[in-house]
Chain A
């Protein structure tokens, strides 16, 4: 189900004008923040599942959902949301397969974000660079 989601919703990602502006350095900074958020998220989710702590799993998944949503990383957002919803139902499972799925989506997300970042024009005015 999560595969059907758009990897990156650019309308969300670029609704912050500075995001298109290479000079602002906002996009690389956000990618880096998402990296560390994902890393700690994965770790927290694994630990929560090991401890069968559905609450902690829900919280970690929620954080990952929120961070991915902020950047329009919709597939990752959907995946985190599913885990959060399951945990809210008391289902505290996050096995290796789940972990691999998250890592795959993460990888794809970062690839896409890096690509978009690299493609940013070097101008300073975001509006002149906007691609339809």
Chain B
């Protein structure tokens, strides 16, 4: 709505007429007093105001409107006499937006009003845009400045000033006024960049600034010289931004990319880069390095038993102890390298330590010893006291490898050897280890193809009744005949099969082959005795164990009492509760169950009592020196007595002499197995032996 103020009724009438015709809404007032009253009550988009009025004149009304908060931006067009330049000047000085002269051309008045409104809208938009820009600049901590070269004066926005902290008013307009706050060596760089900008070179640079309160921030500045039509630099326009948080974030990202988030140690990536760098340097100066590869013993068991949260706490504690061990090893020179950075976690429970500038290889052994000692101290996490030990492998540069890849691989092999040797110890890499590792790798590959290549077979060793000497059952033993290796001992390939997981399909093959053999004997009308198969701890824990046995029994149609299962003592005693469930399930199938190698592990007799087992097999190590070794004799007697008390059957393994047989028979050992009776025989020969044993 337009407010039209004129004391001339004719002017008001005609002005209203044209403005309303042009689509405007108009409110008329015939004097200043009414005009101000109306202005306070209504909202107007524009005021048309006659200068010359009786009472309060137009100047006074204009001034009064501008004094009002809601009157500061409304466009005011003054109506003045054509020659009245004094009035025009005064009107502008009081805040008038425009003027039109009387007598009025009414058509032109409409245009003047329209353009004044459009200009006001543009100004309003500009103000909104400036406000938004100001907010954006404040949020982005971005301040603008202009350096006027001729009068060597700098105009800085408030945000720009704020970025520098509290500043002296006298310095605020001085182009180099804040330079003293810039830290060295950035100060000199900024000064030079500014000097070049004055001569016409743009610059972009980050620099660190110490504010008045002592805080240090990073500012980023971009400056662009502006030239006049003669090519002279007249000013430099620039923006300054606080990028402290961005820099911190970037630093954090860099840290995360190169560190293990759990322990804060260097990660694999960083360790590799440091190792490459250290080896290159050591190669140049002829220094010796040692790479220690460390693997925690049985961490998986701790994770399985107590959960990963506790496992993570252990890893953090181990990391701390590792760093401590290496730091206190003051004989290891590191030349300014942060000690934290030479200890790394490669992932899981694998850690590495890089020792540089080593005087003697023994120094690496001293560090390894210290690490073992530190780690095997009991640690207390979440009210649980645990002992975590580690196996370490050491590879030396340049003796054991000249590149990072080789050193890591060799240290890993040495670590593996330390684990094999009994854990909580360390080993230096040797060439023999490499041979063994290569041999093992080749064995793994051969093993993977051995089933389909038909290289496995089962041999059957008779188990005889001690009193009658008749064969009552047999143990199926796995044989691997490799075309080049010849007969490979189970002692050699079973551990490899267990570690690679190949034991699972291999045992399936054993179960199925034994069942098929029994089925074949039955079909041919031959005498048949139950056959015992051996299952490893891994098989026993595997979920596929029961389905495999059920499938083998069903597909061959043999009665389940013809299949015996032998499990090692350690397999069933580890996690006895779940073992009990498994054993019950096997028993429910109708299988006979025996504990193999009895006496070599640790059995809880109360647990043993609960297990639905049928037989104990006395380990051959107790039988070997009978009857001369008194202690072995006592152990065997104890086992037999215990078995009798628990109503369990007993099989003595490894019986090779008459004296052994006599000793065992006298003590009521029911069953025996060993070379004295028969070595393990291929299926054909075993059948012949069985048929000979059962004449008629």
Which of A15-23, A44-52, A92-100, A115-123 contacts the other chain? A15-23
Note all chain B residues with C-beta closer than 8 A to A71. Answer: 10
Q: Is B21 in the interface zone, CB < 8 Å from A?
A: yes
Closest to B8 in A: A66
**Are A69 and B17 in touch, CB under 8 angstroms?**
no
**Are B9 and A69 in touch, CB under 8 angstroms?**
no
Instruction: Out of B9, B17, B54, B81, name the residue touching A16 (CB < 8 Å).
Output: B17
Note all chain A residues with C-beta closer than 8 A to B17. Answer: 16, 18, 26
Note all chain A residues with C-beta closer than 8 A to B106. Answer: 12, 15-16
**Min CB distance, A22 to chain B, in Å?**
15
Which of B97-105, B256-264, B291-299, B430-438 contacts the other chain? B97-105
Note all chain B residues with C-beta closer than 8 A to A70. Answer: 8, 10-11, 14, 102-104
A74/B103 contact (C-beta < 8 A), A59-B54, A62-B52, A67-B10 known: yes
Q: How large is the interface on A (under 10, 10 to 19, 20 to 34, 35 or more residues)?
A: 20 to 34
**Min CB distance, A70 to chain B, in Å?**
4
Within 8 A of A (CB), among B374-421: none
**Are A77 and B103 in touch, CB under 8 angstroms?**
yes
Closest to A29 in B: B13
Q: How far, in whole Å, are A26 and B21 apart by their CA atoms in the complex?
A: 13
**Are A37 and B105 in touch, CB under 8 angstroms?**
no
**Are A15 and B102 in touch, CB under 8 angstroms?**
no
Interface of chain B: mostly helix, strand, loop or mixed: helix
Q: Is A33 in the interface zone, CB < 8 Å from B?
A: yes
Note all chain B residues with C-beta closer than 8 A to A74. Answer: 103
Within 8 A of B (CB), among A64-88: 66-72, 74, 77, 81
Note all chain B residues with C-beta closer than 8 A to A17. Answer: 18, 21
Closest to A59 in B: B54
Q: Is B550 in the interface zone, CB < 8 Å from A?
A: no
**Min CB distance, A118 to chain B, in Å?**
21
Note all chain B residues with C-beta closer than 8 A to A108. Answer: none
Closest to B101 in A: A69
Q: Is B280 in the interface zone, CB < 8 Å from A?
A: no
Instruction: Out of B8, B11, B103, name the residue touching A72 (CB < 8 Å).
Output: B103
Q: Is A30 in the interface zone, CB < 8 Å from B?
A: yes
Note all chain B residues with C-beta closer than 8 A to A66. Answer: 8, 10-11, 52, 102
**Are A18 and B104 in touch, CB under 8 angstroms?**
no
Note all chain B residues with C-beta closer than 8 A to A77. Answer: 103
Q: Is A34 in the interface zone, CB < 8 Å from B?
A: yes
Q: Is B205 in the interface zone, CB < 8 Å from A?
A: no
Note all chain A residues with C-beta closer than 8 A to B18. Answer: 15-17
Q: Is B107 in the interface zone, CB < 8 Å from A?
A: yes
Q: How far, in whole Å, are A4 and B17 apart by their CA atoms in the complex?
A: 30
Instruction: Out of A12, A18, A30, A68, name the residue touching B105 (CB < 8 Å).
Output: A12
Task: Encode contact with A along B104-115: 1 for CB under 8 Å, 0 otherwise.
Answer: 111110000000
Q: How far, in whole Å, are A66 and B50 apart by their CA atoms in the complex?
A: 11
**Min CB distance, A56 to chain B, in Å?**
11
Q: How far, in whole Å, are A59 and B103 apart by their CA atoms in the complex?
A: 17
Note all chain B residues with C-beta closer than 8 A to A62. Answer: 52
**Min CB distance, A9 to chain B, in Å?**
8
Q: How far, in whole Å, are A11 and B105 apart by their CA atoms in the complex?
A: 8
Instruction: Out of A12, A34, A37, A63, name the residue touching B104 (CB < 8 Å).
Output: A12
Q: How far, in whole Å, are A73 and B107 apart by their CA atoms in the complex?
A: 17
Note all chain B residues with C-beta closer than 8 A to A72. Answer: 103
Q: How far, in whole Å, are A11 and B107 apart by their CA atoms in the complex?
A: 10
Note all chain A residues with C-beta closer than 8 A to B104. Answer: 12, 69-70
**Min CB distance, A33 to chain B, in Å?**
5
**Min CB distance, B342 to chain A, in Å?**
93
Q: How far, in whole Å, are A70 and B10 apart by their CA atoms in the complex?
A: 7
Within 8 A of A (CB), among B614-643: none
Q: How far, in whole Å, are A38 and B8 apart by their CA atoms in the complex?
A: 13
Among B14, B17, B103, B106, residue most surrounded by chain A Cβ atoms (within 10 Å): B103
Among A15, A33, A34, A77, residue most surrounded by chain B Cβ atoms (within 10 Å): A15
**Are A18 and B21 in touch, CB under 8 angstroms?**
yes
A15/B108 contact (C-beta < 8 A), A26-B17, A69-B102 known: yes
Closest to A70 in B: B10
**Min CB distance, B437 to chain A, in Å?**
104
Note all chain A residues with C-beta closer than 8 A to B103. Answer: 9, 12, 68-70, 72, 74, 77
Closest to A84 in B: B81
Task: Encode contact with B along A3-43: 1 for CB under 8 Å, 0 otherwise.
Answer: 00000010110011110000000100010011001000000
Within 8 A of A (CB), among B89-145: 102-108
Closest to B22 in A: A17
Task: Encode contact with A along B1-13: 1 for CB under 8 Å, 0 otherwise.
Answer: 0000000111101
Within 8 A of A (CB), among B10-30: 10-11, 13-14, 17-18, 21
**Are B10 and A30 in touch, CB under 8 angstroms?**
yes
**Min CB distance, A130 to chain B, in Å?**
12
Instruction: Out of A11, A15, A37, A81, name the residue touching B10 (CB < 8 Å).
Output: A37
Among B14, B18, B104, residue most surrounded by chain A Cβ atoms (within 10 Å): B14
Among A16, A18, A37, A72, residue most surrounded by chain B Cβ atoms (within 10 Å): A16
12 additional contacts (CB under 8 A) given A9-B103, A37-B10: A12-B104, A17-B18, A33-B10, A33-B13, A59-B54, A63-B8, A67-B11, A68-B103, A70-B8, A70-B104, A71-B10, A74-B103
The 10 closest A-B pairs by CB, nearest first: A69-B103, A15-B106, A15-B107, A66-B8, A70-B10, A16-B106, A67-B10, A70-B11, A15-B105, A69-B102
**Cβ contacts A to B, 18 pairs, < 8 Å:** A12-B105, A15-B106, A15-B107, A15-B108, A16-B106, A17-B21, A30-B10, A30-B14, A33-B13, A62-B52, A66-B52, A66-B102, A67-B11, A69-B102, A70-B10, A70-B14, A70-B104, A74-B103
